[in-house]
Structure 1
Amino acid sequence: MQALIAIDSFKNSMTSIQANQLVATAFAAHGIQSQQIAIADGGEGTVAAFLANQPGGELITVPTVDLAQRPIQGTYGYFEAKKLAIIEVAAASGIQFLDDGLVPANTNTYGTGLLIKAAIERGAQQLVIGLGGSGTVDGGTGILRALGYRFYDDQQRELMMVGADLGQVATIKTDAVLPELAEVTFINASDVTNPLTGPTGAATIFGPQKGLATTEIANYDQAMQHYMQVATGQVSDHLGDGAAGGIGFALRYFLGAQVKSGFKLIAEISQLAKLVQHADFVISGEGQVDDQSFMGKVPIQISELARQAGKTCYLLIGNQKGRNQAFSEHGVTAVLPIVDHVSTLAEAMAKGPTNLAKMADRLARILTSR
């Protein structure tokens, strides 16, 4: 009996790699062999997934700054033979760096730009930028500044390009841009389709979770529109520009980035569809599944692959919302919540690894008793 295990992370509890290994260990005790695929969607865990799913990569650590310009050490994945770098926005500009007093008006993505610059200086010619988990809404201007773009107000004073500066931009100069950029290709790894501005734009949809007050949204969105107008000559609603607080726009417009699904990139390098074909059954899951899961979330994309291949698929999850029938229609054989007793959310996350291992053991006993 052969299982394919491809579980997404349980946020603040387990990484994809940790979750996969726990299930594989439980299955092995019952004689079930497993193939493990580390999974991510462009957010946290994307670098680890690339490094785990193909050989020849290494984790590089370099000095950078966080979203408030505080010095930190940042990491990215690098494949020397392919001249390929994998960078997560969250590594330097993630929401985990937010603390009291930090709001989009006084943060930016400069630290992510420093990671990109370091990778290019190392020799990277292809960069995959995972756009999940960002804590800023600066339209990607911090990244651009780190790469040599310069922003000035109408008095020709240079702007640092925190969020509060978006509405002040009058001129963008490119004479100091890193020359190597001309030889580099970018891919935005993201499943977000929001435009940069408007009712579904970066400030409106993602600003509040990063500290933007409801009363500030309209003015912030207008400032973002102003920035886009100065940069491009118009305000457009290009899909994906709003990803990661507008980084999607900066990388697409200024650096010519292509936009690809983070999950599909991982699926491609790991040959996931082929592995599903060779498995007897498939295991996926994440912290919570709900109605939004049907809008491209990783476990459902995996269950759809299983359905197309005629394989059973079990989702091991922390919490389920939504009808079983709806999940069944998307190829899920059963949704199996791992929490087996009344507990708080904090307790459930702390005991996540133990609970997942216990559920995997239960499932293995059922599968091997047939």
Structure 2
Amino acid sequence: MKAPRSRLLARLDAALAVTRDPVAAACLRAERAGFLVRLGHFEQAEHELQALRAHAARQPSAALNAWLCMADGWQLHFSRLGAGARDQMKRAQALSAAAGLTPLHALASAWVAHMDYTADDIDGMVRNVALALRLAAPDHHSARSRACMVVASAFDFAERLDRAQPWYARAREHATADGDETTLSALNYNISAQRVHHAAQAAVFGGDALDQSRQAMAASEMAGNFDDWIGLVSLDALVPMQLATMASLQDRFDEALALYDKHLADAQKQGLERLTANYLADIAWCRWNVGDHHGAHRDATAAAASIDTGMHLDDRATAHGRLGMLFKALGEEDAAMRHAAKGRECWDAHRKFQAQVLQAVEAAQLRP
């Protein structure tokens, strides 16, 4: 495995070299192990975390326990986008609050806000991001970079890129000041992911899908190149899946199918099972466009069976909408009408949810 390029890792190593307090040293070790988790160096991190858990059992420390909860949350999130990560972050938040550990409380709150956002808990997201920004000192870069990225993502989700850009810029400034390459990577990925989603939605529900897909492709390629440069290997199937979607939208169907074939199984293992219906629908669309109508019907049927109410509204809308287009091309009018109607229903609900997100974030009057 390639050695990671990291200013943050070097800074933590330097701090460890001069720290004499055993508790402070253990917390630094936990923070370092958590950063290795975020890079995807899971085995190396787990060896250190096991030693720290034993240390915490012998010499209990609220600070160390909170850091271990953070590391466990990162382990769940960066290995497979596990839903349990949110509970671990909430534990870290509660422990640090109870012990009066304000910097750690701010950092944990920012990460809870991140998990709230991914769970569509907008009230929780706004509450926790506001708390993180209130608690974090101006130079608490790790808490502020994460909090700013959450707000940027919320505005971008609501299709207010003009409002998102100042928050993205502040998140990048703080992450750069912190030497935190994993947050810079996350910023690249989140920006490209938003472009990918909006491009895919435009292809189904109307808009300039080609222009948006070109922007998304450039952002995805940049994200992948940056991850390679810093040696990040966690969630390494996510960017290739973006590239597959963009290739499909640009009518490069054979290329899209090759990427899906290579990376779909890993993406599902890394937490993207919730998008299986979308991927299968797009694979079916690609197959139909290269003349494999039997394969297109097979994968479309599998995609339809994979749609469930646990999916995000916009993902359900896009999956149904694409299947409506595909079944129409296959000459199955009843299925086409059914999916098209369901897609429009989900899309209308998604648009209402976007408005709710925008209203909630604006009402909080947050400042980067």
TM over 0.5: no
The structure, 1 or 2, with the larger RCO (C-alpha pairs under 8 Å, 6+ apart) is 1
- Quick check: which one's strand share is greater? 1
- Quick check: which one's helix share is greater? 2
